[in-house]
Amino acid sequence: MPRGLFLTLEGPEGAGKSTQGPLLAEHLRRSGLDVLSTREPGGTPIGERIRGVLLDEAHREMAAETEMLLFAAARAQFVREVVSPALARGVTVLSDRYVDASLAYQGFGRGLDVAVVRWVNEVATGGLLPDLTVLLDIEPTAGLARARAARGKEGAVGRGDRLEQEAAAFYGRVRAGFLQLARESPQRFAVIDARGDVDEVRRRVIEAVDRFLRESRERPEPAG
Ligand code: TYD
């Protein structure tokens, strides 16, 4: 049985992953693929415990290194329990976030050495990389405004207080990091302009994914 394709969805805050993910999964299913739509930690009991540690309000002082290692630890379990078995069954896996999120957030965003984050994640994943990464690209201010609107909060971005400015700088680095990763691996990334309404962005995503699917059908199966 041919191995399934591994697709990931990435982007900074408010780029629209949680809206576009299900729409893309639906499109893939309509194209006749058996699809597992998932996100880290993907329901693995160990990963859920780790996520609890990452999200705990009491852990505000968490060091960037701790955060990076915890994301990687959850990912190690996710790959072995969820992703690899599905790919081996010929299932197409679509994951909302994966290794590139750690490179962009913990590396470029928090300032950890990107080469170290990459290496740790190679250990975590056994070197499993996506066949295609859809990067929803949006400017931090537009993304943060969307994220805030989605949470139902009032107020425009850019109140100008210290935390807001820190957040804008952080997300600026995250976005630039994602774009740099895409430039380094142009065959793996599809960079999508995430501005505009849901349907416009959905059409851009589908066009890019369909092009990738056509090309992967034309490519011969790798031996072994
Ligand atoms: P996510 O659940 O994808 O939420 P959102 O759709 O709102 O972006 O990610 C939650 C947060 O965790 C988000 O700020 C990105 C961050 N994150 C990392 O910093 N590193 C990682 O490896 C992952 C997977 C997420």
Identify the residue whose tokens are 């034309």.
Answer: 218
- CA atoms 104, 37, 191, 13: torsion sign: negative
- The closest alpha carbon to 177, from 135, 132, 216, belongs to 135
Residue nearest to atom 17 of ligand 1 (CA): 101
Q: At what angle do helices 162-184 and 140-150 cross, to 10 degrees?
A: 110
Task: Give the tens place of pLDDT for each residue, 162-221.
Answer: 767 778 899 999 999 999 999 999 999 999 999 999 999 999 999 999 999 999 888 876
Confidence band, pLDDT 50/70/90 cuts, at residue 154: low
CA 41 to chain centroid, in Å, comes to: 12
Going from the N-terminus, what domains does the chain have, and what CATH number goes with each? 6-218 (3.40.50.300)
Tokens of 197: 């309404």
In testing the pocket of ligand 1, which one of 10, 56, 97 has its CB within 8 Å of the most ligand atoms?
A: 97
Instruction: Decide whether any atom of ligand 1 lies within 6 Å of the 40 Cβ.
Output: yes
Task: Give the tens place of pLDDT for each residue, 182-197.
Answer: 999 999 999 999 999 9
pLDDT value of residue 145: 87
- CA atoms 30, 35, 41, 46: torsion sign: positive
